[in-house]
Chain A
C-alpha cells in the first residue's frame, strides 16, 4: 500500500517536473548561445494564459500548445532583437518583459478566469505501461511528459555530440573564434534564443492544459516558476543532464512539502510551498562558492588530506557559465 503511494508520488514528480524541464532546456540553449532570457517568468504565464484561452475558444489542445510556443518565440524574439541587434542590457529588457508579460497575462486572461477548458489526457504506452513499477512510473503519462524525457537527451546530445552543437557552444564561449571559423554569430544567436523561447513557451500550456489545468489569474500558482527555472539552469551548469536532475530534485521537494503537510499542522501551507527557495539559494551558494577568493585562501590553509576532499566536492558542484554570456558580439 505505502509503496503504491510512493510510486504514484514519484510518477507525479515526473509529470510536475515536465514543464520545468522544457523551460530549463530552453533557457540552457539560449544561454549556451550567450543570451540570458530573463523574461522566463512572464513568458510562461503569458503562454499559459494564451494557450488556455485559445484551446477554450477552439476546443483544440494542439492549437493551445501551438499558441504557447508562438508566444514564447515572440517574447524571445524581442529579447534577441534588443540584446543582439540593439545591444541593450539583457538583464534590463528581460526583467521588464518578465513583469510586463505577467501583468499582460492577468489583464488579458481576466474574462476567462475559472473557465473549464480541455485537458491533456493520459496516453499509456501499450505493453510497456503494463510492466510492474516501471510501467506506472514511466509509461502512463501524457504525451508532453514523454517528450520531456526525450528532450533532456536530445538537448544533451545536440549540444555535446553534434557539430552544430559544438558551434552553439562556440558562439557562447568564444564568439570571435566561432566567427573566424565562419559562423554567423548573431544569426545563430537569434536562432537559438528563439528556439529556446519556443521551448520555454511550451511550458505555459503544459501548466494550464495539464499539470495545473485552468486559468485562475493571480492565484494560478504559476508566478515564480520561471525564476525557479532560471536558478535550476544555473544549478544545472548549462548541462541538460545536470539541469534535469535539478528540475526533478525541485519537483521532489514540492511533493515532499505537500506530503509532509498533514504531519506539520502548525505550519501554513504557503510556507511549505516556498521551502524550495532557501534551498535554491543554498545550492547556488554551493555551486558558486568554490570560485570565491576567501574560500581559495581558506583551502590553502587546510591540511593536505582534508583539502583534497573539500576541493573535490567543490569542484564537482561548481558550474562555469558560458564565457560570453550576456556579452554582445561585434564582428568588426
Chain B
C-alpha cells in the first residue's frame, strides 16, 4: 500500500503535469511553440540580475499580501477585499507624503509616517469589510468585492480630481514625488532593500504568530469551528475582526511599498491584481505559512517573465495568470481526489 505522504506528493506532481499539458495545448491552439513561450518566461524572469531584482520586487507586495491572507484564512475568512485594502494603503501613503512633502518634517520621517498610514488605511478598509460581516451579516466575499470596486473609484476620483497633475489629469497617475521621498534602492536596480527587509520580517512574524502563539491557535479554532470556539470562551467576532485588521494592515503595507518603492505616485491599478494572486497562493499552499513565501516567489517569476511575451511573441501577458490559475485548479482537484479515494485507506492503515 502506498504511503499517504507519497500519495500526496504523486498527486501534486500529477496536478503539476496536467497543468503543464493544459498550457501546452492552449499555446499550440494559439499557434505558438510552447517551448519558445515557456523559454521566454524563464529567460524573462531569471535571465539577468536585473530580471531577478524585478522578480524580487514583485515578490515583495505578493508575499506581504499572501502572509496577510494566511491570517484571515486561518480564521476561516475569505478576504477577497484585499485588493481594495492594497489600494487604500497606497492612497493613504500618497496622501501622507503629499501632505508633508513641503513641510519641515525630515523626508525619512515622512516616509516612515507614510508607510504607517498606509498600513492604517488597509486596516480600516479591512475593518469595514469585517464590520459588514459581523454587524451586518454581509458575507465577506460580497462586501469585500464591492469595497474593491469602491476603492478603485476612490483612487480614480483622486487621480482625476483633487490630486490631478498640474495641466492635464491622466491614467498615468498623480505627480511623482521628489527623490527624497522615495525608498532607497540597490544602486542600478529597481529593488529597495528596505522593502525587501520589511517583507521578510512580515513573513517571519506571521509564521510565528500562526505557528507559535496562543493567539494563532485560538484563531485557527475560530476558523475551524466558530460556534464551538465561542462556547469555549474565545471572543469569536473580536478574533475575526482582528484577523481582518491584521490582514488589511499587511495589504496596506503592500500598497505603501508600491507607492514609496516602485511607482513613487498613485496610479489607477496600483494593486495590479496582487490581492487575487495572494488568495490563489493561499489555496495552493493549503494555508501553510511555510510554503507561502517560495510559492509567491514562483508566481512573481511567472508574472515578470511574461511581461515580454507581447513584444517578442505577440502573446497577451495574461498567460502568467492562466498558468497560475490552472496550476491552483489542478492542485485543488488533486487534493479532492486524495481526500475522496485515498483518505480512508490512510486512516485504516
Please report A residues at the B interface, Cβ cutoff 8 Å.
38, 78, 82, 85-89, 91-93, 95-97, 99-100, 102-104, 106-108, 110-111, 217, 224, 227, 230-231, 234, 266-268, 270-271, 274, 277-278, 280-281, 284-285, 288-289, 291-292, 294
Contact = CB atoms under 8 A, between A and B. Distances in A.
A284 B141 contact: no
A107 B316 contact: yes
A87 B136 contact: no
Interface stretch (B38-46, B85-93, B179-187, B322-330): B322-330
B304 interface: no
14 contacts: A82-B333, A88-B332, A88-B333, A92-B332, A96-B280, A97-B325, A103-B321, A107-B322, A108-B26, A267-B157, A281-B138, A281-B150, A284-B139, A285-B132
B288 to A, nearest CB: 15
A139 B255 CA distance: 50
B161 interface: yes
Interface residues of B, number: 49
Given A96-B329, A99-B276, A292-B135, A91 B337 contact: no
A108 B318 CA distance: 9
B5 interface: no
Contact of B316 (A106, A277, A292): A106
Interface string B244-280: 0000000000000000000000000000000010011
Interface of B: 26, 29-30, 78, 80, 132, 135-139, 141-143, 145-147, 149-150, 152-153, 156-157, 160-161, 276, 279-280, 283, 314-316, 318-322, 324-326, 328-329, 332-333, 335-337, 339-340
Nearest to B323: A103
Most B CB atoms within 10 A — which of A97, A106, A270?
A270
A281 B322 contact: no
Most A CB atoms within 10 A — which of B137, B315, B328?
B137
Contact of A88 (B150, B152, B153, B335): B335
Contacts, number: 143
Nearest to A234: B142
7 cross-chain pairs, A with B, having the tightest CB-CB distances, nearest first: A100-B325, A86-B336, A103-B321, A288-B137, A88-B336, A277-B149, A110-B316
Contacts of A108: 26, 29-30
A96 B135 CA distance: 28
Task: State the main secondary structure of chain B at its contact with A.
Answer: helix
Contacts of B26: 104, 107-108
Contacts of A88: 332-333, 335-336, 339
Given A274-B152, A292-B137, 19 more contacts: A85-B340, A91-B141, A96-B280, A100-B326, A107-B26, A107-B315, A107-B318, A108-B29, A111-B314, A227-B145, A266-B161, A274-B153, A277-B146, A281-B138, A281-B146, A284-B138, A285-B132, A285-B137, A289-B137
B157 A284 contact: no
A271 to B, nearest CB: 5
B126 to A, nearest CB: 15
Contacts of B80: 95
Contact of B132 (A217, A231, A281): A281
Most B CB atoms within 10 A — which of A88, A97, A106?
A88
B307 to A, nearest CB: 14
A104 B29 CA distance: 12
Contacts of A266: 161
Contacts of B279: 95
Contact of B136 (A82, A97, A111, A289): A289
Contact of B157 (A110, A231, A271, A294): A271
